[in-house]
Amino acid sequence: MTGLTKGLSGERYITDFAHVMDVLHGASDGKPCSPTHILELFMSLIDTDETSDLVSRRVESDVDAVQIMTIHSAKGLQFPCVVVADLWKPSTQTRGAPVFYNQDQRVVDIAHGLTNPTESSREVAKARVKLAETGELRRVMYVALTRTMHHLSVLVTQAKSSLPEMVPHMPAKRLIDSVAKLKTYQSKTAKPDAKKFACATAPTSIRQSYRRTSFSGIMDTHTKSQRRDYFDLPSHGNDEFGTTPQTNASIETAILRDDLKGFTIPVLPASKNVGNQIHDILETVDTAVRPLRDEVARAVQQVATSSLLRGYHQPLTTMLTRALETPFGGAFGNVCFADIKPDDRLAEMDFEMTVALSHANILTSDIGRVLLSVLSPTDVLRDYAMALTDSSFDIQVAGLINGSLDALLRLPGSTPSQPLLAITDYKSNKMHRDSDTSPIANYSPVHVQAKMQEAHYILQALIYGTSIYRMLRWRLPDANHDACIKGIAYGFIRGMVGPDTPTDENGHRYGVFTWQAPPGLWRALSDLFAGSKPAQ
């Protein structure tokens, strides 16, 4: 229907379409009918006389076919046909004192009508008045005569009219008999024979070449292919859902650090709904307001109205304020969410990214192969790239990938031609137990990286990064796109406990996973989605 209404003739096409539907509806009594019956009805319409009211084209507009208006109101308008019905008989209006122009001066002849004016003065005044009126009438008639697009008719009676004086070159009459008669149009195209029409043969199978998918859709397909028990399924993209706190044995080494024992994590419920509300709060917070805690408290009061969080406003405010003030570390240094003003933060950035059609056979496992081809042997994601090439990820993507990025940040040092961007995501997964003596140890860089791989957030980040690369390529074609994308930063906000959040021996921050793509990765992934498969 969108294609039917395009262009200047859209209203005409809609009218014709509605006309055909009305005729078919009436011919079938409004009852369901077979395709063969519809074809027969169409053939009967083809055989119908073109002058029949049944097939005569309807007027496409509800606007009156004939409009009557003054010349002044028609100014600036155009009509297919115009009939000028003005000045077709002499004016009978009683004139007052003559008014005319003598060179550039307006003159009102107050002697007009007085006793015994000289004949010559009267004639001079009448001539000058007529000259002035003729000039004005010519301007008016010019407007009237130029309103038409195809046909113009000007009404003139046998009585003396001023029109010939207005338009001296206008023909007085067209002799109908002198115009050659047109021959009746004969179509050279033979009418199709109804017997030649037949129903098309349905194909034995239909191959879908286009689909819309997302990170969650890919992971749902992967999970189903594993055929594991429902209660054993890990979380794939849904914060809080299915997360399992780390065991004490798994963090035994981390607990030995004395500097971790002083950090506490507010006690808060964990669920998918809680995670959604936390995202809404962080989207609402204005990071330019100080003190920041008061702004976070306002957002919590506004958003966290459900019974789940109504009694946790104070600890929730504390946790989110700390998370916003926690430096990312890694390639981002001491930059934190609180440092980025609203004008430099694009929250909940929705995107739709095109992918080659199914004939290109682009698989999710190809993403792992591309990743392996550019990673160094010591890169922390090399093991995950190997896992992503597994046959269980032979999941085809074709058509569109869509998603929503929690926040795209423009970092300090950006310029209009060369911005520095951070691809960030909030994760509210609860990876500790409230009874843990050192709960923050569950958010060490090792554990955060393990959660990123277990929940396949790495794959999510790669899809997000490719969409940002394409946006930069279109909007800033001359920029260094690898340099523009500073990296990814996934914040596990329960483990982000403020500016003093500890780091490991390599300087990686607890509660935050950061990673910087090697040069050429984003372009290689974009080329993959465009249909360029890597070598097996």
Pair 94, 162: CB distance under 8 Å: no
CA angle, 350 then 355 then 361, to 5°: 145
**Three-state secondary-structure class, residue 346:** strand
Tally: H helices and E strands in the chain: 15, 10
Can you tell me which residue has the tokens 């794939």? Answer: 236
Contact yes or no for 234/455 (Cβ under 8 A): yes
Please state, as a whole number, how many other Cβ atoms lie within 10 Å of the Cβ of residue 163.
20
Q: Please enumerate in sequence order all residues whose Cβ is within 8 A of that of 522, keeping only pairs 6 or more positions apart, or say none.
A: 465, 466, 468, 469, 481, 482, 485
CA distance linking residue 356 with residue 400, whole number of Å: 8
Residue 73 amino acid letter: S
Strand, coil or helix: 106: strand
Please list, in sequence order, all residues whose beta carbon lies within 8 angstroms of the beta carbon of residue 160, skipping any fewer than 6 positions away. Answer: 90
- The residue whose two tokens read 């009978």 is 92
Report helix, strand or coil for 400.
strand
Longest dimension (CA), the chain: 130
pLDDT in tens, the chain (536 residues): 677 667 777 777 888 888 888 888 887 877 888 888 888 887 887 777 777 777 777 666 666 678 888 888 888 888 889 998 876 666 666 566 666 666 677 776 666 555 445 555 666 666 666 666 677 777 888 888 888 888 888 877 655 555 555 555 554 445 555 667 777 777 777 666 656 667 888 888 887 888 899 999 999 999 888 755 444 444 444 455 444 444 443 444 444 577 788 899 999 999 889 999 999 999 999 999 999 999 999 999 999 998 889 899 999 999 999 999 999 999 999 999 999 999 999 999 999 999 999 889 999 999 999 999 999 999 999 999 999 999 999 999 999 999 999 999 999 999 999 999 999 999 999 999 988 889 999 999 999 999 999 999 999 999 999 999 999 999 999 999 999 999 999 999 999 999 999 999 888 999 999 999 999 999 999 999 999 988 77
**Amino acid 164: pLDDT:** 58
Identify the residue whose tokens are 């440092």: 339
Residue 223 zone, left/alpha/beta (φ > 0; ψ -120 to 50; rest): alpha
- pLDDT for 15 equals 82
Lookup: tokens for 100 = 């005319």
Could you give the CA distance from residue 473 to residue 311 in angstroms, rounded to a whole number?
Answer: 47
C-alpha span between 74 and 455 (Å, rounded): 70
- The alpha-helical segments, DSSP class H, found in 285-363 are 292-303, 313-324
First to last CA, the chain: 44
**How far is Cα 215 from Cα 221, in angstroms, rounded to an integer?**
10
How far apart are the C-alpha atoms of 265 and 436, rounded to whole Å? 10
Name the residue ranges covered by the structural domains of the chain. Answer: 1-65, 72-178, 211-229+257-266+326-530
> Among 515, 512, 487, 507, which residue's Cα sits nearest to residue 497?
512
CA distances from 87 to 74, 99, 169 (A): 17, 20, 16
Q: Please say whether the beta carbons of 329 and 303 come within 8 A.
A: no
Neighbour count for residue 76 (Cβ, 10 Å): 7
Architecture in CATH of 211-229+257-266+326-530: Alpha-Beta Complex (3.90)
